[in-house]
Chains A and B, each alone.
Chain A
């Protein structure tokens, strides 16, 4: 629930309680006052009637009864109902009966007057309070809304810049200044936090990049010396040693290159973003690799329609090559593969046994389907990173024996 809605709701509850309590109170006070007034009036009427009687006048007051009695009873008030012929409805009346001694005789004098009707009062007061309540609430909420918006504006702006802020970017987090003390404190904490996280992150990136970079030179030296050894006349045993050393070095090279690329992908923006024809790149790669597929008896079917995206051609090439290589490696020998490309998405389908690890791990570093295969387990992490960088969604699924990777280009 939005903060604004929440505060408005509390305001609404509080107002409701207050209005009910004060409405009730007002009603009670009014009722009390008016009842007192009516009693006084009825009392006065009885006094007037009794003085008229004492003077021997005939009494012609409406709604008045005078009866002789023998016993003296104290005056008392009661409610009564009287049928109104004119309005044709029964109405509430308030009656006062008392015994008066006039010229030695006792008379019970009953006078009555109509209530205005407490029900009517109640309704009117309710209506007034309802209108008042609605007005209070609407103005309250509107005022609250505008004030809140003004007060919260910097917070919302800062939240948006926080969302956009990437740890990988070299830019510092910039937050709008605010007069509100709490927000100012929050800003300070956030900026400090972001700066530290950014430093840590960049430190890690630099470490990966530097160590990979520093490894390149020794790897180059080892490789050139091993190649040199390969030029010599070696006996079978030495040949085997050399071969094994070379294979291991090839793996090391690949891991190192992969890690370096991953570190780079997390770091700076790639500079060569341009309009890239994915269809052309894919067709080209498929042609390049066609014989690798036929050598494994795989039938590669493609369904390629024109697709142009804003991307780095270098990275897209790596992306396509990694996914193709993945298919080449893991497709069941002799099966058919399908690659579909259109201007919204690309998907790669190939038959194969289910994954030996959790599906959610598929894009993790060093997750490998088959330890006997030559890959180092970085290809799909690189694919994922490249997709992230271009803000493309990539999903993996396994349906009835078919592995499906699909990339959605609509951001």
Chain B
């Protein structure tokens, strides 16, 4: 997947480039509006991540440029303003998704993958790890062709882990992914734990392998 990050804050750009490169993405970044429009015109991207507040213009105005260049390109807006107006305006202009700062990179990653699957793969590429197969269209998990029944939340969790393999994912990050960011979930980490343990049990029962490791005090890591 080829991604352009339009982000003026060097630390955040560095963070995103670092993580997404390690995930096997082809990443580029542009710190300004002009640099971004130049890149958009010259290259083809699968997904463009646009920060709205840029020093030399509004990222909003980049959206039509991207759509003109290639309709298939997924557009993701990130904004520090977390304003509904911006969100609606962006989505109206043709953006596919909106994420408010501050966000967890795992969340951005999950959204980018979902976007990529939806737009570029038309939703019909299965995700395979070991002998497991996830079918995103029907939201089902199979082990050697046999369906393993998952609850909705377990499925969400599994997908979250699959796109963020090998990374320690913190409990708040998981809680925010599953229950949304405005729900006050600090008391609900126990529930995260319950879902996790159920998922872990189901995967282990089928394959005999433990995929989810607890990293004490920090979170959980999914390894294949």
Q: Which residues of A contact B (CB under 8 A)?
A: 213, 216-217, 219-221, 223-225, 227-228, 230-231, 234, 236, 239-240, 242-243, 246, 250, 253-254, 257, 260-261, 264, 268, 270-272, 288-289, 291-292, 295, 312, 314, 317-318, 321-322, 325, 328-329, 373-375, 379
Q: How far is the CB of B60 from chain A (nearest CB, A)?
A: 15
Nearest residue, chain A, Cβ from B8: A217
Nearest residue, chain B, Cβ from A229: B218
Report the interface size for chain B: residues with CB under 8 A from the other chain: 39
Provide the main secondary structure of the chain A interface.
Answer: helix
B82 contact set on A, CB distance < 8 A? 216, 257, 260-261
Contact with A along B150-180 (1 / 0, CB 8 A): 0001000000000000011010110000011
Interface pair B172/A246, CB less than 8 Å apart: yes
A234 contact set on B, CB distance < 8 A? 218
Beyond A231-B168, A271-B85, A374-B184, is A253–B217 a contact (Cβ under 8 Å)? no
- Sample 12 A-B pairs with CB under 8 A, ordered by A number: A216-B101, A217-B12, A220-B103, A225-B11, A230-B215, A239-B216, A270-B84, A292-B191, A295-B194, A321-B182, A374-B184, A374-B186
A257 contact set on B, CB distance < 8 A? 82, 182
Given the complex of chains A and B, what is the CA–CA distance between A288 and B6 in angstroms?
A: 34
- Interface residues in B79-134 by Cβ distance below 8 A to A read 80-85, 88, 101-105
Beyond A239-B217, A243-B218, A291-B191, is A329–B184 a contact (Cβ under 8 Å)? yes
How many residue pairs between the two chains, A and B, have CB atoms under 8 Å in the bound complex?
Answer: 108
Partner among B15, B173, B187, B219 whose Cβ is within 8 Å of the Cβ of A373 = B187
Interface pair B186/A221, CB less than 8 Å apart: no
Contact with A along B202-221 (1 / 0, CB 8 A): 00000000000001111100
B187 contact set on A, CB distance < 8 A? 328-329, 373-374
Give the 8 A-B residue pairs with the shortest CB-CB distance, closest first: A374-B186, A216-B80, A220-B102, A239-B217, A224-B15, A325-B184, A220-B101, A221-B11
Given the complex of chains A and B, what is the CA–CA distance between A325 and B175 in angstroms?
A: 14
Q: How far is the CB of B146 from chain A (nearest CB, A)?
A: 27
Interface pair A227/B170, CB less than 8 Å apart: yes
The answer, yes or no, to whether B183 is at the interface (CB within 8 Å) is yes
The answer, yes or no, to whether B188 is at the interface (CB within 8 Å) is yes
The answer, yes or no, to whether B190 is at the interface (CB within 8 Å) is yes
B184 contact set on A, CB distance < 8 A? 254, 321-322, 325, 329, 374-375, 379
Q: How far is the CB of B187 from chain A (nearest CB, A)?
A: 6
Nearest residue, chain A, Cβ from B83: A264
Q: How far is the CB of B123 from chain A (nearest CB, A)?
A: 23
Interface pair A236/B9, CB less than 8 Å apart: no
Interface pair A213/B84, CB less than 8 Å apart: no
Given the complex of chains A and B, what is the CA–CA distance between A213 and B101 in angstroms?
A: 10
Interface pair A230/B188, CB less than 8 Å apart: no
Q: How far is the CB of A181 from chain B (nearest CB, A)?
A: 45
Partner among A213, A291, A375 whose Cβ is within 8 Å of the Cβ of B81 = A213
B173 contact set on A, CB distance < 8 A? 227
Q: How far is the CB of B91 from chain A (nearest CB, A)?
A: 11
Given the complex of chains A and B, what is the CA–CA distance between A251 and B190 in angstroms?
A: 18
Given the complex of chains A and B, what is the CA–CA distance between A225 and B104 in angstroms?
A: 11
Beyond A250-B172, A257-B82, is A227–B190 a contact (Cβ under 8 Å)? no
Given pairs A219-B101, A231-B167, A243-B217, 19 additional interface contacts (CB within 8 A): A217-B80, A220-B80, A221-B9, A221-B15, A224-B11, A224-B12, A224-B105, A234-B218, A242-B218, A253-B102, A257-B182, A264-B83, A272-B84, A289-B179, A291-B194, A292-B179, A314-B84, A318-B182, A379-B184
